[in-house]
Structure formats: C-alpha cells, structure tokens
Chain A
C-alpha cells in the first residue's frame, strides 16, 4: 500500500537525550481504523516514541509521514529541527493528543477547551464549533458540565473532556499518552469505555498504556518496547497470550 493512503507511518526513529539513547530505530504503520497499543516498562521509550509522532519531541533520525506527507527536517547547529514549523503545526492539528495529566486549559470552561483548537487553529466558525463541541460533550457524558472549569471536575471527567477536545479537531489519528495512569482506579473504567467506543467506530488510534485488558480486547496491534527497541509486535492474541521473548513473558507474568 502506498504511504499516501496510510494515516501515519513512522520509520526508523532514533532519539537520545544527552548521552542516553532512548529510541533505537522504531517504526510503525497506523492504517485506517488501526488501534495500536504501545506497552513496556517505564523508561522503555513508549511515551517518547508517541511524542515524536506529533513532534513534541524531535527525533534525531527517522521519518514521520502523515497521509503521505513526510515531515521535513533540517540540521541546525548539529541538532535536527523541523524545516518548517508551519508544516509541523498543520500536521499536529491532524493528530490529536490525549495526555496523562489531561492538560486542559484551566482558565477556560470545558466547552471553551473543546472549541478552542477548532476556532483558533482550524478556523471553524464559533457557532458551528460550539454545536459540534456540545455534541461531543454529550458523547462523553459531560453535556451538563459544559460550563464548568477543569478544576471543578473529577479526573475522569477531565480526561473524558480532554478526549472530546481531541475529537473536536476531527483528527486522522488519536494519540493517547497513558490516558488512565493519573486516574483513581474507580474512574479508569469510564475513560476506557469512551476509548473502546472510539475504537469500535473505526478511529485510528495509537495508545501508550498499562491497561493490559484494553490492549488485549481493543487493539489490532500490540507493540512491546524494551530499551527503545521493538522487542515484540503483532496481534494481541499472539503477543499477549503467547509471548516469545523472555522479557515480555516476565513483563506480563505478574498480571496473569
């Protein structure tokens, strides 16, 4: 399949912070409707990998191609930089991200958070953005909380609001960075339920997670990272049920 038909292709990413090399040649292809989960111990590079996909971290080497459009890089004082921040901003607006710490804008109401990027990045008319934003809040079960500020909501509500914010830009790929790790256990279920629905309706998603049930039930592909390398990858039934690598066996062992 040609790259131009694939929402997100990442090839051979390398990244080091100072002398520590974090990513050592990682690749993935997220096809339309794929749900790819990235698992691995802390420090395995899964969050950095995800953050490279929308250039929150700039990889030292490797390609990122969004619907056939490769991100252009240039060398600047020995470090690699995007050649055009304009291009990066355009690409970012097509890849929405949901963060571990929610990162809602605290001075805006929930609906304000949801309509912010559509209005001020994509140029959607306010009324239209608001209508759609309310529909999205309805979807995640927060229509009655539209005018609340983030600090007035529980963690689970904030994260569901953050998912509505992500959906509002109509992204081609949704990036989730440990979306349930900062939540109280009883709030995790609501957020996962919303994510399952998104997967069911065919959204393309890349999810960094520690939720093995979610990885097993929802994803089309599981990638196990170890020290910045792909140790094992494949369908969840293979990777999680019959792991080949001893490390993955050990990683999964205490859970089952």
Chain B
C-alpha cells in the first residue's frame, strides 16, 4: 500500500486536473447524487407499496387513478418531468410569496419531487406484477385457514410478492442512480454536474467524464452487490436444497 502510494503520489501531484479543489467538487457531487437518489428511492418505495395494493385492487375508483398516474410518469421522459417541476411551478402566480417559495428557490426540491414520483410509478408497476403473480393456491390456503383479506395480504401476498420483485427492483435502483445524472440540467451540482464543471474549467473531457463514469460504476457495483446479498437471503426458498 505504501509503495503504491509513493508511486501514485508524484502522478497526482504533477497533474493539473485532479487537484484537491476538483476532488472536493467531485465529493460534493457524490454527496448530492447519493442524497438525491437515496431520498427519492426511499420515499418512492413507501409510496409504491400502497399504490401497488390499490392498483391490484378490483375497485375501479382505486385502480384507475393509479393506472393513470403510472401511465403519465412512465409515458413521459424524466427530464420533461423535471423541467415541469423546476421551471413550471416557478411560473405559478404568487408562488414566490407563498409557503411553497422554498420549493422554487432550491432546485433540489423539484428534482426530488420528479425523481420520487417517477420511481414510485415504476416501482408500483414492478410490485403490481409481483402481486398478480402470487400463486393462487397460496392465497386460497390463507383464506381457507381463516385469514381475513388484510391478514392474507400482510402475511402471504406481500412478503411473497416483495421477494419476487427484488431482482426487478434492483434494476430500478441502478436505473434511478444513472437517471439522476439529469439533475445537473437544473443547476444541481451532482456527480455529473461536478464532472461538467471540471471539464469546462480545464477543457479536457476525457479525464473529467471518464473519472465520473468510474465513480458511477463503483456505486452501481456496490448496489448490485447489496442486492445480490439480499437476493440470496430472501430468495433462498426458491433454490433446491
């Protein structure tokens, strides 16, 4: 390790781009990206569970609005959703003097809103598919043993559906991480924003963007590893002994 450091140190000290200053830029970007993605994923997940239950329901007044919500958010580009949240709301009369002023004064809030609703829509569809794929016999057994519809949902349908949804949800998480790069389009200094800043400052696209690509790759790698561990734990009931 020490030897490696002594070899790398001169390279680092000689280069003009990866100075402590720019590394701090990247670090801020990393923190912003992780916060943005983490918060939207967690809130989106909590929204998606009841939405999926409602969407799987046979009650039309419940499932049609949720279908429409998903249709809109999955049918339009995330970037447009972000632009509407960021540019659009600022144009509403009197918003500057209202309690929602904070929302248009910091681009993080519109970004969080767009990202959260977008991932909620995708996650809802993932869960709905998993709920619908519940083996009918298992549900029947739950009812036959006297479980109420709510208990059967809580004890059988949802635990089984979440496990089935896990691989697809892992995909959505990685997708969301990469999609968050467009936050830089509304002046947020996320990882991509930081990379753009470094590129513009030194006019050297390859180091600036390849470095940030590697950071995204590392993050994806960690997430994929996390889901792999989760899957082996949660899906072991599907593996033969």
Which residues of A pack against B, CB within 8 Å? Answer: 54, 56, 85-86, 89-94, 96-97, 99, 101-109, 116-117, 120-121, 148-152, 165, 169
Which of B155, B159, B238 has the most chain A CB within a 10 Å cutoff?
A: B155
Instruction: Report, nearest first, the 9 A-B pairs whose CB atoms are least far apart.
Output: A93-B146, A149-B237, A103-B137, A152-B241, A103-B141, A117-B145, A92-B146, A97-B144, A121-B146
Q: Which residues of B contact A104 (CB under 8 A)?
A: 138, 141
State A68–B15 Cα separation when bound (angstroms): 89
Q: Which residues of A contact B137 (CB under 8 A)?
A: 99, 101-103
Say whether chain A's binding surface is mostly helix, strand, loop, or mixed. loop
B160 and A105: CB pair below 8 A?
yes
Q: Which residues of A contact B147 (CB under 8 A)?
A: 89, 117, 120-121
B160 and A151: CB pair below 8 A?
no
The number of A-B residue pairs with CB atoms under 8 Å apart is 81
Say whether chain B's binding surface is mostly helix, strand, loop, or mixed. helix
State A152–B238 Cα separation when bound (angstroms): 8
State A149–B236 Cα separation when bound (angstroms): 8
B143 within 8 Å of A by Cβ?
yes
State A136–B158 Cα separation when bound (angstroms): 27
B59 within 8 Å of A by Cβ?
no
Q: Which residues of A contact B159 (CB under 8 A)?
A: 107
State A203–B240 Cα separation when bound (angstroms): 34
A152 and B145: CB pair below 8 A?
no
B140 and A107: CB pair below 8 A?
no
The verdict on A89 contacting B241 (CB below 8 Å), with A101-B137, A105-B138, A107-B159 known, is no
B148 within 8 Å of A by Cβ?
yes
- Please, what's the 1-or-0 string for B121-134, where 1 marks a CB less than 8 Å from any CB in chain A? 00000000000000
State A162–B159 Cα separation when bound (angstroms): 20
Contacts A108-B237, A151-B238 supplied; 15 other A-B pairs, CB < 8 Å = A89-B146, A89-B147, A104-B138, A104-B141, A105-B141, A105-B156, A117-B145, A120-B155, A121-B146, A121-B147, A148-B241, A149-B237, A151-B239, A165-B145, A169-B146
Nearest opposing residue in chain B for A102, CB measure: B137
